[in-house]
């Protein structure tokens, strides 16, 4: 039996309950009421509310959303943009696809509220090119909102004008990274860049830009709906609200689960996911996706909590939980991960472009049993260097899995003598 | 579809370049963009040819190499891998008689690897043109492919 208190329906409250292609059903369920409320407030009051809620971005970096909104609001610019990051390329994640396919209007309403708060005039929803159904659903939902006067000139008579459109990606993981995404939106190859300046100051077309994840925008709507005080009662001290968890791998009931912060990884896998097929033992669990750390069974009682994880040097990114059972070979998995980063690197900076092929060469040496102490030292320093010196998050996180395996499964890297 | 029609639909703003290229490619029977196509897009959008080329080269959904009428993309990432994508890989190669990266002699199918398709809860996953398939077993493959053969 599923433990009731383990899950909540906030972000997912409309999933499979209303027709995603019917704006009327959404409105009948209370939709666009929060937008009306927001349009009667000042932008600063909305931002204060978001700050008070403790909301942190759901796209992976967990940056406080209220601060980001305030940053865009105070940046000078003749025009400001809003971008919804629906690129979802991190292996293991599918939560944003569910949101777009099952309830596009919550995301759209959250975006309009955020645009009003920061004073953005134009928005883009950047959806990965492979998500045909999401693209189609969101485009239709936008058209419906426009027909109801919820987008366009003088929204609901408030004097606020704002519109948005869908743009699609071309099949590139790095384009989920904010700078790369902006390059892609501008019609260029998606090479990343150093920060600062941050997109809040100089983003799309050099203008102040609010760039956030799909789930983050839905949470902004929930904060308007519930109020910051009520919102922040759920979760833990520093991790507020709920998180959408994409559970997959060797698990009986893979799928999307919405949980309040504070539940443990073990509960997610066993109570919600029904454990591992045929009662096999867990070898390791990768958190967040291919760019996240791998933890052993002994760490599964870790709560979903930024601080608790941070203290162990871990993070859960955008909420993927990938379960791997005893049959997997860790080096084989690490090689797969290394190939992913090798393929997806944009090639702009040396640590990532040249580092990834070397990682793969070294991993193959360990696999064949010919690696020496020097290879281990090389892999260690290369992993650290890539993490520290790469330009963007892709190269910085490419060796997170390897570094975590070195810590939790040191026996994986057995060496032979140098002679 | 002609480039003029695409410009009429999307406009000339540079942020439309990727959408235009994707749609242009789709309208070509061989799922690729020729050098002439690239020059035509650059001319119509008033962009340097090098810029358009860099975009075509960068994105994995775009190809300068001629491909088949239908593109089969099999996910090669970890969640699918640990749920048997290796078996699917072998079945695809056997069923089509080609290796990954190749196109069948009749020009119908091109077989490619892709990074995660966001269908990991239904792994192993693959995409044929715009259709997603989850939990694909080798046994189910012939019937799926037959649909495209008879299109
Ligand atoms: C390689 C890479 C890929 C990323 N992919 C995504 C993505 O698909 N979706 C997303 O929301 N954020 C992604 N991010 C994080 C974004 O850069 C950014 O932090 C996030 O979209 C901000 O939104 P938030 O504040 O709502 O979390 C990625 C980051 C990196 C380094
Ligand atoms: S870290 Fe990798 S993906 Fe990021 S800019 Fe450098 S080469 Fe490109
Ligand atoms: S890992 Fe295969 S679809 Fe996500």
The answer, yes or no, to whether residue A4 has pLDDT greater than 80, is no
Mean pLDDT (whole number) for A133-141: 98
Mean pLDDT (whole number) for A70-90: 97
Residues A19, A24, A25, A26, Cα dihedral to 10°: 90
Q: Among all ligands shown, which has an atom nearest to the Cα of B118? A: 3
Q: Could you read off the pLDDT of A355-400 as tens digits, one per residue?
A: 999 999 999 999 999 999 999 999 999 999 999 999 999 999 999 9
pLDDT of residue A1: 41
Residues of chain A with CATH 3.40.50.11540: 4-231
Q: What's the mean pLDDT when you consider all of chain A?
A: 96
Read off the pLDDT band of A2 (50, 70, 90). very low
Ligand 2 centroid–CA B35 distance in Å is: 28
Nearest to B14 among A91, A171, A186 (CB): A186
The tokens 């669990």 sit on which residue?
A: A285
pLDDT of residue A149: 97
Q: What percent of chain A has pLDDT over 70?
A: 99
The answer, yes or no, to whether residue A104 has pLDDT greater than 50, is yes
Mean pLDDT (whole number) for A46-50: 98
Architecture in CATH of A330-413? Up-down Bundle (1.20)
Mean pLDDT (whole number) for A204-226: 98
pLDDT of residue B75: 97
Pair type for strands B70-75 and B109-114: parallel
The answer, yes or no, to whether residue A3 has pLDDT greater than 50, is no
The answer, yes or no, to whether residue A44 has pLDDT greater than 70, is yes
Dist CA B127 CA B81 (whole Å): 15
The tokens 């084989």 sit on which residue?
A: A332
- Are B130 and A250 inside 8 Å of each other by CB? no
Q: Is the beta carbon of A166 within 6 A of some atom in ligand 2?
A: no
Q: Which CATH number fits domain A242-325: 3.10.20.600, 3.40.30.10, 3.40.1010.10, 3.30.1050.10?
A: 3.10.20.600
Local structure of A134: helix, strand or coil: helix
pLDDT of residue A92: 98
Q: How far is CA A251 from CA A271, A279, A330, in A?
A: 11, 10, 18
- CB count in 10 Å sphere of residue A113: 23
Q: Which residue has the higher pLDDT, A400 or A418?
A: A400
The predicted complex's ipTM stands at 0.95
pLDDT of residue B151: 81
Read off the pLDDT band of B2 (50, 70, 90). confident
Read off the pLDDT band of B114 (50, 70, 90). very high
The residue whose CA has the least distance to atom 6 of ligand 1 is A176
Render the burial of A220-249: b for 16+ CB within 10 Å, e for the rest: bbbbbbbebeebbebbbeebbbbbbbbbbb
A–B interface: beta-carbon pairs under 8 A:
139
Q: What percent of chain B has pLDDT over 90?
A: 95
Q: Among all ligands shown, which has an atom nearest to the Cα of A203? A: 1
The tokens 């509220």 sit on which residue?
A: A113
- Are B61 and A171 inside 8 Å of each other by CB? yes
The answer, yes or no, to whether residue A175 has pLDDT greater than 50, is yes
- DSSP-assigned letter for residue B11: -
Q: Could you read off the pLDDT of A112-131 as tens digits, one per residue?
A: 999 999 999 999 999 999 99
The residue whose CA has the least distance to atom 8 of ligand 2 is A346
The answer, yes or no, to whether residue A344 has pLDDT greater than 80, is yes
Mean pLDDT (whole number) for B90-96: 97
Q: Could you read off the pLDDT of A246-287 as tens digits, one per residue?
A: 999 999 999 999 999 999 999 999 999 999 999 999 999 999
Residues of chain A with CATH 1.20.1440.230: 330-413
Mean pLDDT (whole number) for A91-111: 98
pLDDT of residue A419: 61
Superfamily of the domain at A4-231: NADH-ubiquinone oxidoreductase 51kDa subunit (3.40.50.11540)
């Amino acid at each position: 039996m599923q433990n009731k208190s383990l899950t909540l329906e906030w972000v997912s409250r409309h999933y499979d309950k209303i027709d995603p292609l019917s704006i009327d059903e959404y409105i009948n369920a209370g939709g666009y009421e929060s937008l009306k409320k927001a349009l009667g407030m000042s932008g600063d009051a909305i931002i204060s509310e978001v700050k008070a809620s403790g909301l942190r971005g759901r796209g992976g970096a967990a940056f406080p959303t209220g601060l980001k909104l305030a940053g865009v609001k105070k940046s000078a610019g003749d025009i400001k943009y809003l971008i919804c990051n629906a690129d979802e390329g991190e292996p293991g994640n599918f939560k944003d696809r569910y949101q777009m396919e099952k309830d596009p209007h919550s995301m759209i309403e959250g975006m309009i509220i955020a645009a009003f708060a920061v004073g953005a005039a134009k928005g883009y929803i950047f959806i990965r090119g492979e998500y045909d159904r999401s693209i189609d659903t969101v485009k239709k939902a936008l058209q419906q909102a426009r027909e109801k006067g919820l987008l366009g000139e003088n929204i609901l008579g408030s004097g606020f004008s704002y519109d948005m459109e869908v743009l699609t990606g071309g099949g590139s993981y790095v384009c989920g990274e904010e700078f790369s995404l902006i390059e892609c939106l501008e019609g260029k190859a998606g090479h990343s860049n150093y920060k600062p300046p941050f997109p809040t100051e100089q983003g799309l077309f050099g203008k102040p830009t609010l760039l956030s994840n799909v789930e983050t925008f839905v949470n902004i709507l929930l904060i308007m709906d519930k109020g910051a005080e009520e919102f922040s009662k759920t979760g833990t001290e520093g991790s507020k609200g709920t998180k959408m968890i994409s559970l997959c791998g060797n698990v009986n009931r893979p799928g999307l689960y919405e949980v309040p912060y504070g539940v443990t990884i073990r509960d997610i896998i066993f109570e919600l996911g029904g454990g591992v097929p045929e009662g096999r033992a867990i070898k390791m669990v990768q958190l967040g996706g291919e760019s996240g750390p791998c933890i052993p069974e002994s760490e599964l009682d870790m709560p979903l909590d930024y601080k608790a994880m941070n203290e162990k040097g871990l993070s859960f990114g955008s909420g993927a939980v990938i379960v791997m059972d005893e049959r997997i070979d860790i080096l084989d998995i690490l090689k797969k991960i290394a190939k992913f980063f090798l393929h997806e690197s944009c090639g702009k900076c040396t640590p990532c472009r040249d580092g990834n092929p070397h990682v793969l060469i070294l991993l193959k040496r360990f696999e064949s049993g010919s690696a020496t102490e020097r290879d281990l030292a090389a892999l260690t320093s290369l992993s650290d260097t890539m993490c520290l010196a790469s330009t963007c998050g892709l190269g910085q996180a490419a060796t997170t899995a390897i570094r975590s395996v070195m810590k939790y499964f040191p026996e994986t890297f057995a060496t032979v003598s140098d002679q | 579809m002609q480039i003029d029609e695409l410009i009429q639909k999307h406009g000339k703003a540079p942020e439309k370049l990727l959408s235009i290229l994707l749609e242009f490619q789709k309208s070509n029977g061989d799922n690729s963009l020729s050098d002439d196509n690239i020059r035509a897009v650059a001319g119509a959008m008033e962009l340097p040819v090098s810029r358009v080329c860099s975009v075509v080269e960068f994105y994995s959904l775009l190809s300068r190499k001629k491909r088949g009428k239908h593109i089969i993309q099999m996910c090669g990432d970890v969640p699918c891998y640990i749920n048997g994508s290796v078996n699917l890989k072998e079945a695809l190669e056997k069923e089509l008689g080609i290796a990954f990266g190749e196109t069948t002699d009749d020009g119908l199918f091109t077989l490619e690897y892709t990074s995660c398709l966001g269908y990991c809860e239904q792994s192993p996953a693959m995409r044929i043109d715009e259709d997603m398939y989850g939990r694909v077993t080798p046994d189910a493959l012939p019937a799926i492919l037959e649909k495209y053969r008879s299109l």
